[in-house]
Amino acid sequence: MTQHAIARAQQRGIPKAIIGNLYRFGESRNSKGATSIFLSRKALRSAENELTAQEFQTLSKYRNSFLVVGDKQQIVTAARSLKKILPPVTMPQESAALDKAIDNFSRYAPIISSVRTTDPLAKPTIKSALEYKRDGHLEVTYSPFDHVATNSRLVIVGITPGRAQATNALVAASQSLRRGDAVEVALRTAKLTASFSGKQMRTNLVRMLDCIGLNRLFGVASADELFTAAGEQVHFTSALRYPVFVDGENYNGTPHMIKTPILRTLIERYLGEEARMLPDAVWLPLCPKPAMALLHLVNLGHLRPQQILDGMPHPSGANGERVASFVGAKEAHLLSDKTNAQQLAAARERLTDKIDRLAKLGEFA
């Protein structure tokens, strides 16, 4: 097994004994340059004939698991799907996505490496050179948000990087390139620098995730354990990967992202790619706009509805009262008129039920 496969198996809770029996009895299928091995009905019947009753019972609990084997018959990844048999995301697909990210970055690397200011987008020459797409009042600007944390178990989705995030990513990438870092390192550095949110937002988010039982789903004491840069078990992304501006201002959801071709293309090309790379993750949209983008991917078959945890209040510090109501820390009669306690309680119950259903499938333990 490769180190990648070992890490994935540990992250997804697939024991070595299960991997051995899956490799021994599983049925093979060629897919996009690699071979997937999964437990078909025929494979399970064969295993039942040769294993002890206890061994077979244990293996059956992992019937939704699969392996991906490379050209040299080495196991390159291990995963568990939400379907009985899911075409796996192969290492070649992840490699192709990285190649695409490097190509995008390389187009803009000369201008990024030349950045010496803390506000590069304030300079017309730099902003013009970073233009990715333009359509009337809409402008898409390149900023290095291409890194995908492929070990992630939780994906947090915003609308689009704002000007401040874009600036932080550009400055971090520029510094990384000037240090002589590889492009992959520069991309990761830029993404982590710009994406990790402030302490209050993270605290609120963890409170709500623990409240609905995400920590139990992932087998950790608290969802806070997922938020480590080293492990990258949380992937921060946006419905629109690159910063979008309308008449020079941050995009706020208008015009409609699905009905506007230039924006819909960003969703399908980049967010869709991330969905295919992270088939086992739980997706958390931070407001209705990214939830709309995720629903679009569900309609395209890239995600399944049970993976999406929509309906939570935004975890920003300014939204503290709604967060407190959601987790049950503030009684309804103490809330202001702006906070609908009944609506938040219904959302909490719905999300808790969804987590319970996922837990019963045993996909994330």
For position 264, what pLDDT does the model report? Answer: 97
For position 32, what pLDDT does the model report? Answer: 45
For position 231, what pLDDT does the model report? Answer: 65
Predicted confidence pLDDT, tens digits, the chain (365 residues): 887 778 778 877 889 999 999 989 988 876 445 677 888 878 888 888 888 888 888 888 787 787 888 766 778 788 765 444 334 444 556 667 777 888 889 889 989 988 888 899 999 999 999 999 999 999 999 999 999 988 888 999 999 999 999 999 999 999 999 888 888 889 999 998 887 556 788 889 999 999 999 988 888 899 888 877 666 788 999 999 999 999 999 999 999 999 999 999 999 999 999 999 998 899 999 889 999 999 999 999 999 998 999 999 888 888 999 999 999 999 999 999 999 999 999 999 999 999 988 887 765 55
For position 82, what pLDDT does the model report? Answer: 43
For position 84, what pLDDT does the model report? Answer: 41
SS3 114: coil
Distance in angstroms (rounded) separating the CA atoms of residues 207 and 194:
23
Structure tokens at 184: 């992959």
Residues 212-225, buried b or exposed e (16+ Cβ, 10 A)?
bbbbbbbeeeebbe
Other residues' Cβ atoms within 10 Å of the Cβ of residue 63:
19
How far is residue 337 CA from its own chain's centroid? 35
- Helices (H), ranges, the chain: 3-11, 16-25, 41-50, 53-60, 91-113, 124-129, 163-178, 183-195, 199-212, 214-218, 261-266, 272-277, 288-300, 320-326, 341-361
The length of the chain is: 365
Which DSSP string do the residues of 249-304 spell out, in sequence order? Answer: EEP-S-S-TTTSHHHHHHIIIIIHHHHHH-TT-EEEESSHHHHHHHHHHHHHTSS-
| Domains of the chain from N-terminus onward | 3-88 (no CATH), 93-361 (3.40.470)
Residue 139: its H or E element:
strand 138-141
